[in-house]
Amino acid sequence: MKVIISGGGTGGHIFPAISIAGALREKDLGCDILFVGAEGKMEMERVPAAGYPIIGLPVAGLKRSLSLSNLVLPFKVLKSIRKARKIIREFRPDIAVGVGGYASAPILWVAQRLSVPTLIQEQNSYAGLTNRLTGRKADRICVAYEGMERFFPKDRLVMTGNPVRNNIRRPTSGEKAEALKHYSFDPEKKTILVLGGSLGCATLNNTMKKWIADGQPGGEGIQILWQCGKGYYEGVKSFMETASCKDVVYSGFIDRMDYAYAAADLIISRSGAGTISELCVAGKAVIFVPSPNVTEDHQTHNAMALVEKGAAGIVKDSEAMETLMGYATALVKDEAAVRTLENNISALARPDAASAIAEEIFSVCKNRIL
């Protein structure tokens, strides 16, 4: 079987896509998989590193603010559609799978017009524009939240959950000890992991800087692992070189997320769908700070789906500078509250999501043949 997997732009799209590819190969070792992403985006590095070929399209996303780049967007879209048509005609896939993001639009649009079966994986509780448009003709839509018939034909929806990286699971006490040793952390102290997503987050970085500059109030007995994002790394490094700071380890990007999750007693994070799914599987207490700079405020919708089940805390982006670290340092010391959050978020985990989506891919192809 030949499969195209398209999408990307952020780790939240890329890592689930790689997990789906891995599940396909587990079920069919001879499955021929080709990724299609956006030129210059992180998938062009991460996918080959995982052992899969990828072709980049010159497609770009629409800037919501006034931007000169929007003027050339139609030309990039047309060029991407032409390239997508060439890819499909040469590769001749049995199915095209879209994992979201503007990079998936050209391939899905062309595939549907060339009668190639399509499957969409919608991660969020509020469907993105690309998936809403291509979902009208998709053979199957795999979702992670209830109520998605608002966006897609109900008879083609399948609840699968979101795929997570293969090495993510609820850590044992031994794995936690190993992770703490990896970061040279004190096992007697509480550990907070600060995640701004694969690209970093100005709000969380500025909040951390303020907390450190203020003398780390409430930070007694607490150590921090801080992923600041590659684009912010040099600025954070300059700040940390002059700051009077202890018990803070920072990094542009964390490759071993299994270690990061295992070390953490509490996590502060944006609420992208992929991150939420990993936190559910890892069973970690979390405070979400939803990004306000996303379509239809979908990160708030994602976070509230957990908050309403007592499975997470939440702080508004606009309030993070003043309230986040006070809330976090108090919560991480409340072991009963942390344990309740861990148990509630674990109940929402779908560790077999990648396998379930792979089964749907095979099912769509089989039904088309019949």
**Known binder of ligand: residue 191?**
no
**Known binder of ligand: residue 165?**
yes
Q: In the beta sheet, which residues pair with residue 97? A: 5, 119
**Known binder of ligand: residue 340?**
no
**Known binder of ligand: residue 40?**
no
For residue 266, give the 3-state DSSP assignment.
Answer: strand
What is the token pair recorded at 296?
């239809």
What is the token pair recorded at 323?
């309230």
**Known binder of ligand: residue 221?**
no
**Known binder of ligand: residue 161?**
no
| Alpha carbon distances (Å) from 7 to 61, 229, 327 | 12, 21, 36
Length of the chain, in residues: 370
Cβ-based neighbour number of residue 61 at 10 Å: 18
What is the token pair recorded at 355?
């396998």
CA distance 53 to 66: 35
Name residues whose C-beta falls within 8 Å of residue 56's C-beta, 6 or more positions apart in sequence.
36, 37, 38, 39, 40, 41, 44
User: For residue 41, which amino acid is it?
Assistant: K
- Binding site, residues? 10-12, 124, 165, 198, 254, 299
- Binding site for UDP-N-acetyl-alpha-D-glucosamine, residues? 10-12, 124, 165, 198, 254, 299
